[in-house]
Structures are given as structure tokens and as C-alpha cells.
Amino acid sequence: MPSPFPGMDPYLENPILWTGFHQRLIACTCAEVNSLLPPHYVADIGERVYIVQPDRNIYPDVVVFEQPLLPTRHEQGAEGAVTAVATASDPPLVITYEPEEIREVFIEIFPVGEESRVVTIIEVLSYSNKTAGSEGRKLYKAKQREVLTSETHLIEIDLLRQGEHTVAPSQEELRKRCTWDYLVSLHRGGEGNRFEVWAITVRQRLPRIRVPLAGGDPDIVLDLQAVFNRCYDEGAYARRLDYRRDPLTPLTEEDAAWAAALLRERGLRE
């Protein structure tokens, strides 16, 4: 059963579901790209790995089974006798944790037999890439800057309305030209500040985008909506999403009314 929405399904922006959907979307996109590539190219999945400290509540243990004696101090009693008095500290907060390993995947296209020569990178942004001050965002932006000054083509797919603006084209420049809920950006290697952008609203299908290759080889055309539909079906999201409620990331008032009417029409909301 397909998503009731014509393009990106805003209910999939739920962080609980996003990790699995993100992985599935990368895998489906990579498979689709390989089906479109000329035989002398191949696409594969790469990954970034980094360590973060866990963000969780740590509570002190208030049950004390044994209180070790600390170094003593001496006091003189009323009759001049010297007695040893044990000093006890206030109970400390004891914290034990394991750092968390984060793995972020992306797609690389390279000529067959030349795996060190990456022609095109396709990134699907995650919440960690769009969270201000996060390690994932710092690493992503550093890689973005590096790729933009190289001969490698960069495609960035942002299907998250929440978080910091992250794709390479300037947010201010985009606002002068279009409105969007979701963005796809293509930067061709060596073309400076020139970008090809697909700006999509929640009411539109996802675009067919160009994926450039090396030299004089023509671009291939990737239908993101077809890839999304495959992911939605394979992930069984039709029976996992509760369309009776509003999406976790709110829509604008006008879009919320449109979505409610659409869901009622599909029999998914009363």
C-alpha cells in the first residue's frame, strides 16, 4: 500500500522511525543508482563513524552497603586526652557509561576498478547532521566543505523539516527564489558557487534528479519518488504510521488542513 501523500510522508520524520527509514532509503537509492549506471561505474555504501557521549540521566545510588574509613583527624578532649575522629565525605555522584558509536551511511559512485576515485557522493541528511553543535553536524559540514572544493560531485537530499539549514546552497539565496519543505541540492565538481536545486513542498511528488558522472559521460536520472515508494512498501510503514494523529513535526496551518482532508479522503482519518 503506498503512502497517502504524493511525495515525502511527513509522518516518517519521527526520530524513532527515521533511523530505519534513513538506512533503507540509502540502500534502495544505491540499488537504483546501480541499475541506472553504465557498466564501467558502480555505486556502493560508505560510512562515517564517530563517538559521542550518551545523553542520559544519571542518578546517585542512595543505598550504602559499606562506608570505608577516611583519614582521621585528632581532637583534644576535656581532660587533655587525644582521640581519633573519623571524617566522612558527602556521598559522591558515581557515573559509569560507555561512549556511543554513531555510524552514518552515504553513497559513493566510482569507476569500476578505481575505488579510490570517487566521482559522485549522494548524502541523505540525518537529524545528527542538522542538530546545532552536534558532533555529527561538525563532521558533516567539514566533509561538505572538502567535497565542494574538489572535482567530486555532491548531491544532498534533505527530507527533514526540523533542524538547522544544512545543504550547501545559502538559505538566504534560496528564500529569494522559492519556498520548500524538502530540498535536493546538486553541486558539480569544480563549479564554485553554482548549485542545481530541487525545492519540494509536502504537497508535491519527490523529483527526478540528475546524477552526474565523470568526463563526457551523460548524467543519469534518478526518480526519488520511485525510490521512496519502494522504501515505504518494504518498510511496511502503512501499518506502522498512525495517520489519525498529527505528525510529530507540525505542518503549517494550511498544510495541516490539506493533509487532514487528504487522509480523510483515503479513509485514514475520521
Q: Please provide the average confidence, as pLDDT, over all residues in the chain.
A: 88
Whether residue 79 has pLDDT greater than 60:
no
**Overall average pLDDT of the 145-153 stretch:** 96
Higher-confidence residue: 92 or 219? Answer: 219
Pick 49 or 118 by higher pLDDT: 118
The predicted structure's pLDDT at residue 64 = 39
In the predicted model, is pLDDT for residue 7 greater than 80? yes
| Four-residue CA torsion sign, 236, 239, 241, 246 | positive
**pLDDT at 130 exceeding the cut of 80:** yes
* Mean pLDDT (whole number) for 88-94: 76
The pLDDT confidence band at residue 81, using thresholds 50, 70 and 90, is low
DSSP 8-state symbol, 88: -
DSSP conformation letters of 108-135: EEEETT-TT---EEEEE--HHHHSTT-H
Q: What is the pLDDT of residue 77?
A: 55
pLDDT, one tens digit per residue, over 183-217 is 999 999 999 999 999 999 999 999 999 999 998 89
In this structure, the number of other CB atoms found within 10 A of the CB of residue 124 comes to 23
pLDDT-wise least confident of 64-73, 100-109, 239-248:
64-73
Q: What is the pLDDT of residue 66?
A: 43
On whether the CB atoms of residues 164 and 137 are closer than 8 A, the answer is yes
Q: Let me know: does 166 contact 129? Beta carbons within 8 Å.
A: yes
> So what's the pLDDT on residue 148?
97
Residues linked to residue 47 through DSSP beta bridges, in sequence order: 105
Model's pTM, two decimal places?
Answer: 0.82
Q: Which residue has the higher pLDDT, 103 or 79?
A: 103
